[in-house]
A and B are shown apart, each in its own frame.
Chain A
Amino acid sequence: MSGDAVETPLLEVRGLAMHFPVSEGIVLSRKVGDVKAVDGVDFAIKRGETLGLVGESGCGKTTTGRCILRLERPSAGQILFDGQDISGLGRKDLVALRRRMQVIFQDPYSSLNPRMKVGDIIAEPIKVHGVEPDAKRRRARVRELLSICGLDPKFADRYPHEMSGGQRQRVGIARALALDPEFIVCDEAVSALDVSIQAQVVNLLEDLRERFRLTYLFIAHDLSVVRHLCQRVAVMYLGRIVEMADCDELFDNPLHPYTQALLSAVPIPDPRVEATRDFRPAPGEVPSPINPPPGCVFHPRCPLAVEGCKRTRPALRELRPGHWVACSEVN
């Protein structure tokens, strides 16, 4: 999106939409509407960059990630991965793609098969994709991956339940790395971890990014972690991107009223700072994505809303270099 992008981005999403049908009635089921989980999203991620995708539950950030991974077939739009549109690929073509893009999930308790040993969990993708048919060399690779992720190679013989949450998440990361991917979707990858462990895993993700020149889409709701880890950030609300900018620019100079509300709602871990902070939480709640408000979807909660906001849906505009905002009232 920035003018100096000579290099083609690794991933580009254009007009992505994902609508889920809503039906009513059990016997005579009929479609009554759509949940517009993702409703026209555009962004690009350069090689080696981390884009943060933030927003509250139901804003469509996870669905966006699932569409990019092609765990869903999007209703509309293009997903260009390394120049190739993958939005309509079939099963067979996707297999090859999945070697290049991987995912780290939120919950290290439910994303690892409890009946498999850690070593087998990590070896599974290597086996499935036929990367290393030799069992001995595969085991060596698993040990290497474990130590890359800061775990004792002996853990290969353990079961997930014998490990702590932080260790399990490292196993999930080792599995994602097993096929040498270029691109990883981190879907709330540190959200379920305890505070003291979270920082360990954040540091690990940063080390891996540099070591293997990885590109991340970092989906999260914790803004302070996003600020630490990402180079660019997109804020989503009700299926749409409302603001996107370089990380420092977005956090130092948020322009969209929703981003401002989001940032001011995060309590700072310091009672002296909190005592001086003006604090007015945004009123109301996120409306239903089945029946979103007309015009700007944020207008019912917005302090800047004027009559026109109820009618026209604001497009993303580049108000400063690289800083995109979907609001007609800020300039």
Chain B
Amino acid sequence: MSALLDVRNLHTEFRTGAGLVRAVDGVSYTVDPGETVAIVGESGSGKSVGAMSILRLIPDPPGRITQGQILFDGRDLLRLSQVEMREIRGRDIGMVFQEPMTSLNPVLTIGRQITEVLEQHQGADRQAAERRALELMEMVGIADTGRRLKQYPHQLSGGMRQRVMIAVALACNPKLIIADEPTTALDVTIQAQILELMKSLTLRLNVALIVITHNLGVVARYASRVNVMYAGRIVEAGSADAIYHDPRHPYTIALLRSVPRLDQPRRARLDPVDGQPPDLTRLDGGCAFRPRCRFAVERCGEARPALAPTGEAGHFAACFRSDELVAARDVAAREVAA
């Protein structure tokens, strides 16, 4: 089976007052049809810029995609014209953003937001579009669809607005949905509803999903494969099970260890990742995580390690010491448990 999306060596840069920021610095990954892939990282790791690059929504200036290929269904999105790109966005690739209030048009009714997509991309007439809109709203769990159709975004709750966003994203039967922190702005019980909805719909409609998030719990629940990003690069990639139970990059290990877990006994102290996030304008040639890494050696300052196979098939880590790390990691885990 060939991949639906094949991102190859993507580079996106921003020219800022403080200097050149390589927000995405050589990122490659694939997404298969119907698969859910999570991109995990903290602010500034490049996870959102990477996704915006796929959609070619990087503001230029100051941003620019400088290198790479984005093969979607066999076509390189970076070679398409703006007009062709506009056809792909919303039709083949749906989008769900963090803040539904700012991504919905405040002066259009809910119904119009959905029918607009249908008319634009499928040439549907008003009546057909409206029928389909009602159907979509029902599908995403909006009750009382007739009344909701005529309402404006500000009349809806955050959870309802996010359901509308999902309805818009699904309107044209896309092959891929990119969801950038889709539930971060929502309360935890609403977050659970929205995530369950996205999961069941993408399964039922066989839509591939890229979830961008910083929430390790959300990833564990919904993703089959995970890419962990740090300072513009993927530092670890693999199946969700491998990432959580056999992490091979010091950043992933530290991240997983730093979060308190409701299903485990209370710990006396949390075990944070030391130091501060990297300043992307001041990266040297070495591993970007080195200043915060407990396993760093001299070699780590000489070059940035590339993603290399480690552990089970399909598991990659960008660390010179990922194989020897396993023993140290397990010793440390036992110490924490004791």
Interface segment among B7-15, B93-101, B267-275: the answer is B267-275
**Minimum CB–CB distance for A162 against chain B, Å:** 10
Known A-B contacts A227-B260, A281-B192; A196 and B254 likewise in contact (beta carbons under 8 Å) = yes
Task: Tell yes or no: B240 within 8 A of A by CB.
Answer: yes
In the complex, what residues of A have CB within 8 A of residue B84's CB? none
Q: Is A224 within 8 A of B192, CB to CB? A: no
* A154 vs B306: C-alpha distance when bound (angstroms): 36
In the complex, what residues of A have CB within 8 A of residue B274's CB? 200
**Minimum CB–CB distance for B89 against chain A, Å:** 29
* A195 vs B8: C-alpha distance when bound (angstroms): 28
Choose among B195, B258, B262, B292 the residue that contacts A223 (Cβ–Cβ < 8 A): B262
Q: How many residues of A contact B (CB 8 A)?
A: 45
Q: Is B269 within 8 A of A203, CB to CB? A: yes
Q: Is A272 within 8 A of B245, CB to CB? A: yes
Interface residues of B in 269-283 (CB under 8 A from A): 269-274, 276-277
In the complex, what residues of A have CB within 8 A of residue B254's CB? 196
In the complex, what residues of A have CB within 8 A of residue B61's CB? none
Known A-B contacts A248-B266, A261-B189, A271-B241; A198 and B258 likewise in contact (beta carbons under 8 Å) = yes
Cβ-closest chain A residue relative to B40: A195
Q: Is A203 within 8 A of B272, CB to CB? A: yes
Choose among B42, B160, B244, B267 the residue that contacts A196 (Cβ–Cβ < 8 A): B42
Task: Tell yes or no: A268 within 8 A of B by CB.
Answer: yes
Choose among B160, B245, B271 the residue that contacts A199 (Cβ–Cβ < 8 A): B271
Task: Tell yes or no: B304 within 8 A of A by CB.
Answer: no
Task: Tell yes or no: A56 within 8 A of B by CB.
Answer: yes
Q: Is B260 within 8 A of A266, CB to CB? A: no
In the complex, what residues of A have CB within 8 A of residue B260's CB? 199, 202, 224-225, 227-228
Q: Is A262 within 8 A of B188, CB to CB? A: yes
Choose among B191, B241, B277 the residue that contacts A197 (Cβ–Cβ < 8 A): B277
Choose among A199, A206, A247, A283 the residue that contacts B258 (Cβ–Cβ < 8 A): A199
* A191 vs B256: C-alpha distance when bound (angstroms): 17
In the complex, what residues of A have CB within 8 A of residue B273's CB? 196-197, 199-200
Task: Tell yes or no: A7 within 8 A of B by CB.
Answer: no
Interface residues of B in 174-207 (CB under 8 A from A): 187-193, 195-196
In the complex, what residues of B have CB within 8 A of residue A198's CB? 258-259, 272
Task: Tell yes or no: B263 within 8 A of A by CB.
Answer: yes
Chain B interface bracket (under 10, 10 to 19, 20 to 34, 35 or more)? 35 or more
* A269 vs B244: C-alpha distance when bound (angstroms): 8
Interface residues of A in 280-316 (CB under 8 A from B): 281-283, 285-286
Cβ-closest chain B residue relative to A167: B276
Task: Tell yes or no: B216 within 8 A of A by CB.
Answer: yes
Q: Is B244 within 8 A of A194, CB to CB? A: no
Q: Is B189 within 8 A of A56, CB to CB? A: yes
Task: Tell yes or no: A263 within 8 A of B by CB.
Answer: yes
Known A-B contacts A56-B188, A195-B255, A227-B262; A267 and B217 likewise in contact (beta carbons under 8 Å) = yes
In the complex, what residues of A have CB within 8 A of residue B258's CB? 195-196, 198-199
Task: Tell yes or no: B75 within 8 A of A by CB.
Answer: no
Q: Is A165 within 8 A of B188, CB to CB? A: no
Q: Is B157 within 8 A of A285, CB to CB? A: yes
Task: Tell yes or no: B307 within 8 A of A by CB.
Answer: no
Cβ-closest chain A residue relative to B187: A56
Choose among A196, A247, A270 the residue that contacts B255 (Cβ–Cβ < 8 A): A196
Task: Tell yes or no: A143 within 8 A of B by CB.
Answer: no
Task: Tell yes or no: B34 within 8 A of A by CB.
Answer: no
The contact sample of 13 A-B pairs, CB cut-off 8 A, is A196-B272, A196-B292, A227-B266, A262-B188, A263-B262, A270-B244, A270-B263, A272-B245, A279-B196, A281-B193, A282-B192, A285-B157, A285-B190
User: Which B residues are within 8 Å of any A CB, using their own CB?
Assistant: 42-43, 157, 159-160, 187-193, 195-196, 214-221, 240-241, 244-245, 254-256, 258-263, 266-267, 269-274, 276-277, 292
User: Which A residues are within 8 Å of any B CB, using their own CB?
Assistant: 56-57, 164-167, 194-200, 202-203, 206, 221, 223-225, 227-228, 247-248, 251, 261-274, 279, 281-283, 285-286
